[in-house]
Amino acid sequence: MRRPSVVALVVASVLVLVVSGIAGWSIGSMSEPPAQDRGTSAGVPDVPTSVPVVAFIGDSYSQGIGASSAGTRWTTLASAALGWSEMNLAVGGTGYTTSYLGQPTDYATKVESVRAAQPDIIVVSGGRNDYLTSSPPEIGTAAAALYGQLRSALPDAELVVVSPIWEATDIPVEFTEIIDSIRRAAEGASVKYLNIGEPLSGHPDFMVADGLHPNDSGHHKIAEQVVAVVG
């Protein structure tokens, strides 16, 4: 039986960002689900509702590069706020068309990892690493193919796509075209699309020294935007 939908669970969630305090993390790490309300009614303990498992597919931002710990990366912060149990499958350097060192993204392996996890919700976030490596139409085609593969692998899971995130510098025109291509791919596949804007733009204080990855403040801002849009 499927667990409740994202919308139903979000309405019931208290949207407060918390820090788990985990000292480190690894690919495929699972965060602890939030504590359940164990109040009583007429002396009988309440039965806690099931916690949805959410698998994140994405790049270094979703993996948490730049954050001081797993507890301060945006996926973990947003999961805690929304009442999700997180399964993080993100890999730095991954895009819709390219992976680390410019190799084509191996989505067959990625989809199989998600299938094995059997999540209730799948969140896909990426697009930055496709910049300068593929054209917007190519990226949109690859995104649509991925969404189709995920639908086929887990037809009962809820599929969510986060709009591509740029860093703190001015957003190139070409990147806005990539954003549009991914949005159209999501809409064409009837996938829930979260337009979170560009939470890091104009905020160098949200970035670590390399200027490419968000620090704790940047991850917090991304999580805040995701929660606001989902809610």
pLDDT for residue 172: 96
Q: Give me the chain's average pLDDT, please.
A: 83
pLDDT digits (tens, 9 = 90+) for 65-101: 999 999 999 999 999 999 999 999 999 999 999 876 6
**Which residue did the predictor score with more confidence, 120 or 47?**
120
Q: Which two tokens stand for residue 135?
A: 């054209």
pLDDT for residue 19 is more than 70: no
| CA 216/CA 182 separation, integer angstroms | 27
pLDDT for residue 11 is more than 90: no
| CA 147/CA 149 separation, integer angstroms | 5
Rounded to whole angstroms, what are the CA distances from 31 to 54, 56, 60, 116, 188? 10, 12, 17, 17, 32
CB 24 within 8 A of CB 69: yes
| CA 31/CA 78 separation, integer angstroms | 11
pLDDT for residue 109: 85
| CA 85/CA 48 separation, integer angstroms | 14
Q: State pTM to two decimals.
A: 0.80
pLDDT for residue 132 is more than 80: yes
- In the chain, % of residues over pLDDT 90: 71
Residue 36's contacts (CB-CB under 8 Å, 6 or more residues apart) are 48, 49, 51
pLDDT for residue 190: 95
pLDDT digits (tens, 9 = 90+) for 139-164: 999 999 999 999 999 999 999 999 99
pLDDT for residue 47: 36
CB neighbourhood size of 91 (10 A): 20
pLDDT for residue 108: 83
pLDDT for residue 22 is more than 80: no
Q: Which two tokens stand for residue 226?
A: 């995701």
| CA 222/CA 12 separation, integer angstroms | 21
| Residue with tokens 């994202």, as numbered in its chain | 6
pLDDT for residue 25 is more than 90: no
Q: What is the mean pLDDT of residues 25-29?
A: 38
